[in-house]
Amino acid sequence: MREHRLYSTIYIAGTAVAVLMAMLVAFYLHLHRGHIYPEHERGRTLYMDQISLEWGDEENRSMSMGSLSLSFIQDYLLPLEGVERVSTEALLWGAEVSSPETPKPRPMSVRHVDQEHWRIFDYEFISGEPFSEADVSAARRVAVVSRRVADYLFAGEEAMGRDFFLDDKAYRIVGIVRDVPYVLPNSFGHIWVPHTCSMKEEPREGAPTVLGGYQAKLLMKGGYTPEQIRTALSHRLEDYTKATGQQVRLDGAPYTTLDKMLAGGGDTSRTLAILIAVVALFLIVPALNLSGLNSTILEGRLAEIGVRKAFGATRLDLMMQFIVENFLLSFIGASIGFVLALFVASSLELIYIYDAVPGVDLADLGDLASGLSPSLLLDGWTMLYLIVGAFIINLISSLLPVLQFSRQGIVSSLLDHHANQK
């Protein structure tokens, strides 16, 4: 490294840029696929927020699209084989919130959920506990709030058991949870209340009984796949079609977080393959360029190669020596690229938000929510991505030139070195 400072600088910079670009894509996948607080069961969690209906003959075909009804959730999702839990959420997200200490109303994200919401997502309760099934059934005006909201409403004083106002209606705080980053729209919220407090579904004569104002979250049992759940749901809906003449189209639902982020119910596997290919290109193309730089360096070491071969070194010995020597440079460059990727991702967090923040504009969040921080992106998997990225760049950039020059005989290596010195 000391003998070839310019070479080392170029090599480290090239590796850093390659890893920076690759890690930005890897972070994007991790944010929507990794197990991040409070979404620790992402591999088993499915979401369903709308369906479409078709009816009529071929000449007079009609279609309607909308959210789910309570009866649809209860009759078709709850009994599904392979589903462990189902949570119901009313699609009412925003509200004006105030308290005696902060009388000026402020818009906040309010989630209208049931008791199962707290069993699907693993929120960390700082104090109190979630509201119960009895609270939901009785439509009690109780609420769970985030830590920042509790501090805001009561100026940092004890908030448990105190009342605040949500759209001018008094609610009592029964639990305070650790803040959820707003880049996780499935679980983010400022306040959570029983959905029965604000919305009651009344059947409308002549209206489809499967459409309403709700969405559902499903927790699969271990050993089941999303495709199995979709197939089972399609089979159950055949009875609805026979009874009503209306065909329910699922359009890829229920889907995982990754499904929605990549394709919105489309071909997830194809989109994922494209992203993986992009990451591979970010690593392989710079590595090929760096291999040319390594070839230049090895030309100056032909005499060393010849002498080592004269003393019995094999091609494998030469390859391992050069790969190990270069790995330090690769790892330094990869580490710099990783740190830069964390900084860029945190600074440009909007590119990582794949869905709207429920019930509030980003401009209104202010100090009431945390965003995308480096700690959110750091885990064992992202560190593994770093090591693998450094290894791929090192292997490709080192292996190709050393294979080329190690083929030369002892005399040829020494003569070529002598010719290069002239």
Q: What is the DSSP letter of 349?
A: G
pLDDT in tens, the chain (422 residues): 555 688 888 889 999 999 998 888 888 888 888 889 999 999 899 999 999 999 887 778 888 899 999 999 999 999 999 999 999 999 988 899 999 999 899 999 999 999 999 999 999 999 999 999 999 999 999 999 999 999 999 988 999 999 999 999 999 999 999 999 988 889 999 999 999 998 766 555 555 689 999 999 999 999 999 999 999 999 999 989 998 889 999 988 999 988 877 655 555 677 778 878 888 888 888 888 888 887 777 666 666 666 666 666 676 777 787 788 788 888 899 999 999 999 888 887 766 665 566 777 776 777 888 888 888 888 887 888 888 888 888 888 888 777 766 555 444 544 444 444 44
Residue 45 lies in a domain: no
- Inter-axis angle of helices 302-310 and 268-299, nearest 10: 80
Same domain, 230 and 173: no
Produce one character per residue of 335-357: b if its CB has 16 or more CB atoms within 10 Å, e if not: bbbbbbbbebbbeebeebbbeeb
Whether residues 101 and 70 fall in one domain = no
* Residue 260 within a domain: no
The secondary element (H helix, E strand) that includes residue 164 is strand 163-166
pLDDT computed for residue 141 by the predictor: 98
Q: How far apart are CA 76 and CA 336, in angstroms?
A: 51
Q: What is the pLDDT of residue 88?
A: 97
Q: Is there a domain that residue 257 lies in?
A: no
All residues at 6 or more sequence positions from 351 whose CB lies less than 8 Å from its CB, including other chains? 28
Distance from C-alpha of 88 to C-alpha of 70, rounded to nearest angstrom: 8
Give the tokens for residue 348: 């440009």
Q: Are residues 415 and 300 in the same domain?
A: yes
The helix or strand, by DSSP H or E, that contains position 330, with its residue range, turns out to be helix 315-347
User: Domain with 247 in it: what CATH number?
Assistant: 3.30.70
Within-domain flag for 261: no
Question: Which of 169, 151, 168 lies closest to 160 in space, CA to CA?
Answer: 151
pLDDT value for 361: 74
Within this chain, do residues 70 and 31 fall inside the same structural domain, yes or no? no
Instruction: Based on the fold, state whether residues 62 and 181 are members of the same structural domain.
Output: no
Query: Could you say which DSSP state residue 255 is in?
Result: B
* Boundary residue ending a domain (252, 287, 322): 252
Tokens 């930005």 appear where? Answer: 24
- Whether residue 393 lies inside any domain: the answer is yes
Q: Are residues 183 and 236 in the same domain?
A: no
The SS3 of residue 192 is strand
CA 1, CA 194: separation in Å to the nearest integer?
A: 63
Q: Which two tokens stand for residue 110?
A: 């309010």
Predicted TM-score of the model (pTM): 0.83
- CA-to-CA distance for 67 and 90, rounded, in angstroms? 10
Does 31 share its domain with 174? no
310 SS3 class:
helix
Tracing tokens 């900084």 back to the chain, one arrives at: 343
pLDDT of residue 355: 58
For residue 51, list its beta bridge partners: 66
Residues 28 and 54 in one domain: no
Cα separation, 93 vs 49, in Å, equals 14
Residues 280 and 386 both lie in one domain: yes
In a domain, 44, yes or no: no
Query: To 10 degrees, the CA torsion angle through 283, 288, 291, 292?
Result: -140
CA distances from 141 to 89, 128, 166 (A): 16, 15, 10
Tokens standing for 369?
């929510």
Provide the residue range defining the domain that includes 408.
Answer: 5-38+266-421
Among the listed residues 165, 190, 155, 186, the one whose alpha carbon sits nearest the alpha carbon of residue 176: 190
Same domain? 270 vs 406? yes
Cis previous bond, 254, omega within 30: yes
pLDDT of residue 382: 80
Tokens describing residue 276: 């993986």
Residues 205 and 142 in one domain: no
Q: Would you state the pLDDT for residue 299?
A: 67
CA distance 321 to 187: 50
Residue 417 is predicted with a pLDDT of 42
Asked whether residue 122 is assigned to any structural domain, the reply reads yes
298: in domain: yes
Domain count, the chain: 3
Cβ(93)–Cβ(231) below 8 Å: no
Buried b (16+ CB within 10 A) or exposed e, 158-189: ebeebebbbeeeebebbbbbebbbbbbbbbbb
255 closest CA partner among 82, 46, 84: 46
207 shares a domain with 60: yes
